[in-house]
């Protein structure tokens, strides 16, 4: 096996400049504080719960009344416990889905949980439970509202801003606000005043990330848990345009299948070829949103569709381990609890995730590499049955690594290629197999000197 050790970022850099004014432009793009915080806690839960839970639907149909919300209890403590067991660190609750029914005590409409059988502010109950258990809390607020009469007129922007203001004022410190781009194809045309919405959040919740139709976190582009080979965080600023997100989002209740495939995504969002033709760049990491079941809301008939631990672990590795954050949807049912099928899988998933780093063979913190470090060599004290390689860049210095190879020193004394990768970013997880005496991590291409926060090999 030809290792081509002399072909690394310090020498050929794959024929790309290691540092020039263009490279400087790319690496000057870094996360803001709340993006950085989110990427350090990359796994959190989506809870779809509301009128659709009561009616066993995925989308409302604009005919619902408060009476239809015939749910009498919710058990947020059980939700938070399930989330924690999976190793997730936050919850985003659908405070209002497209049907317009509000789970909090809004002053803007009577169409709300406090007026229904349950008579309680569900957002408050969930937020309080989160804060008591060290879980971050965030809100999903659907811009499209099929119930509100002002929808489609300028007054709706005022309505939406007022609701957003309530959520940003009365429910503690939000870590994320999730704006959905979905809207029925036959809904009234409407131009959302996104900037006004963002201004409310900037003023009232300056530490919150605004996701999807938002400026901090981009939607990966499908609902299947799939990612691109390279999920760049430094991308053209034009990707933040909400119109594009809206166009690709769900446009009908039966349109979900399309988003469970990935052929809607442009593959390359941030290679040098893309960046060089775009004047404005931004830090805009991807979020993978996917449901543990077929639907976003709970339906009994979906009980048999709960994803296996193996499937969820793969989604985790392909998202969290591929420079993305993962938002896993777990829908509570009509009894106000998360079904035991889901909680069982979540518990096992949590165990698998913590086992990944339980048995380190070597953990190191290389920092900024010097020109003598075209590759890093690791020798183990005995043959190790490796399971994972996990690397992180110090993303406060942007994302720099563009290509790397990983070789394992096999017990026969020969190196064998285990993986060829592209970007690393906040976290790269590579599954490994077989015994090894050591490893070589060769960075072939980088934007200036790589700054590696950590590298670990795990049994
Ligand atoms: C979609 C919505 O239409 C679905 O109901 C769900 O909320 C999903 C997360 O976003 O676009």
Atom of ligand 1 lying closest to residue 250 CA: 11
Quick check: 263 pLDDT over 60?
no
Please work out whether the CB of residue 250 comes within 6 Å of at least one atom of ligand 1.
yes
Report the C-alpha gap between 236 and 266 in whole angstroms: 13
Lowest mean pLDDT among 68-72, 149-153, 222-226, 449-453: 222-226
Cβ neighbours, 10 Å, residue 154: 10
Atom of ligand 1 lying closest to residue 52 CA: 5
The answer to whether 338 touches 292, Cβ cutoff 8 Å, is no
401-430 residue pLDDT tens: 999 999 999 999 999 999 999 999 999 999
Please work out whether the CB of residue 448 comes within 6 Å of at least one atom of ligand 1.
no
313-367 residue pLDDT tens: 999 999 999 999 999 999 999 999 999 999 999 999 999 999 999 999 999 999 9
Protein residue with its CA nearest to atom 11 in ligand 1: 182
List Cβ neighbours of 314 (8 Å cut-off, separation of 6 or more). none
Q: Is 179 left (phi over 0), alpha (psi -120 to 50) or beta?
A: beta
Protein residue with its CA nearest to atom 4 in ligand 1: 296
Atom of ligand 1 lying closest to residue 182 CA: 11
The answer to whether 68 touches 80, Cβ cutoff 8 Å, is no
**How much distance in Å is there from the Cα of 249 to the middle of ligand 1?**
8
Mutate which of 145, 184, 250, 298 for ligand 1? The one with the most ligand atoms within 8 Å of its CB, which is 250
Protein residue with its CA nearest to atom 2 in ligand 1: 182
Confidence class for position 158, pLDDT limits 50, 70, 90: very high
Please work out whether the CB of residue 180 comes within 6 Å of at least one atom of ligand 1.
yes
The strand pairing partners of 324, in sequence order, are 286
Q: Is 162 or 258 the better-scoring residue by pLDDT? A: 162
Q: Is 243 or 367 the better-scoring residue by pLDDT? A: 367
**How much distance in Å is there from the Cα of 377 to the middle of ligand 1?**
46
Mutate which of 176, 221, 223 for ligand 1? The one with the most ligand atoms within 8 Å of its CB, which is 223
Please work out whether the CB of residue 216 comes within 6 Å of at least one atom of ligand 1.
no
Protein residue with its CA nearest to atom 6 in ligand 1: 296
Quick check: 262 pLDDT over 70?
no
Signed CA dihedral, 90, 96, 102, 108: sign only: positive
Report the C-alpha gap between 94 and 307 in whole angstroms: 21
Across all residues in the chain, what is the average pLDDT?
96
Mutate which of 179, 258, 296, 299 for ligand 1? The one with the most ligand atoms within 8 Å of its CB, which is 296
**How much distance in Å is there from the Cα of 182 to the middle of ligand 1?**
6
Please work out whether the CB of residue 296 comes within 6 Å of at least one atom of ligand 1.
yes
pTM of the model: 0.97
Please work out whether the CB of residue 182 comes within 6 Å of at least one atom of ligand 1.
yes
């Amino acid at each position: 096996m030809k290792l081509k050790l002399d072909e690394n970022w310090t020498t050929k850099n794959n024929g790309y400049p290691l540092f020039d004014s263009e490279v400087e432009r790319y690496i000057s793009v870094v996360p803001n504080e709340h993006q950085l915080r989110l990427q350090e806690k990359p796994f959190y839960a989506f809870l779809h719960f509301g009128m659709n839970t009561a009616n066993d639907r995925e989308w409302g149909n604009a005919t619902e009344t408060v009476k239809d919300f015939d749910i009498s209890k919710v058990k947020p403590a059980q939700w938070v416990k399930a989330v924690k067991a999976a190793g997730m660190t936050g919850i985003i609750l659908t405070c209002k889905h497209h049907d317009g029914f509000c789970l909090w005590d809004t002053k803007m409409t009577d169409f709300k949980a406090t007026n229904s059988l349950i008579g309680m502010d569900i957002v408050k109950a969930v937020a309080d439970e989160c804060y008591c258990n060290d879980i971050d809390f965030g809100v999903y607020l659907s811009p499209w509202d099929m119930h509100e009469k002002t929808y489609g007129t300028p007054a709706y922007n005022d309505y939406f801003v007022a609701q957003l203001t309530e959520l940003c004022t009365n429910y503690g410190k939000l870590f994320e606000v999730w704006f959905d781009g979905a809207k029925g194809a036959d809904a009234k045309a409407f131009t959302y005043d996104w900037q006004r919405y963002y201004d409310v959040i900037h003023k009232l919740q300056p530490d919150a990330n605004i996701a999807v139709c938002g400026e901090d976190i981009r939607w990966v582009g499908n609902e299947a848990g799939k990612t691109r080979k390279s999920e760049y965080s430094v991308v053209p600023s034009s990707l933040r345009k909400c119109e594009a997100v809206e166009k690709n989002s769900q446009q009908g209740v039966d349109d979900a299948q399309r988003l469970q495939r990935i052929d809607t995504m442009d593959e390359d969002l941030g290679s040098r070829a893309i960046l060089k033709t775009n004047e404005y760049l931004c830090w805009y990491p991807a979020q993978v949103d996917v449901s543990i079941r077929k639907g976003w809301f709970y339906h009994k008939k979906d009980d048999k569709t709960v994803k296996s631990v193996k499937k969820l672990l793969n989604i985790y590795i392909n998202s969290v381990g591929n420079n993305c954050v993962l938002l896993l949807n777990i829908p509570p049912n009509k009894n106000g609890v998360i079904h035991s099928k889901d909680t069982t899988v979540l518990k096992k998933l949590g165990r698998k995730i913590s086992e990944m780093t339980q048995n380190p063979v070597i953990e190191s913190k290389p920092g900024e590499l010097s020109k003598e470090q075209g590759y890093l060599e690791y020798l183990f004290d005995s043959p190790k049955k490796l399971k994972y390689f996990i690397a992180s860049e110090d993303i406060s210095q942007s994302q720099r690594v563009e290509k790397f190879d990983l070789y394992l020193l096999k017990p026969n004394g020969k190196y064998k290629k285990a993986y060829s990768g592209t970007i690393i970013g906040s976290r790269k997880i590579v599954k490994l197999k077989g015994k090894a005496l050591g490893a070589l991590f060769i960075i072939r291409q980088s934007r200036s000197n790589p700054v590696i926060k950590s590298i670990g090999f795990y049994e």
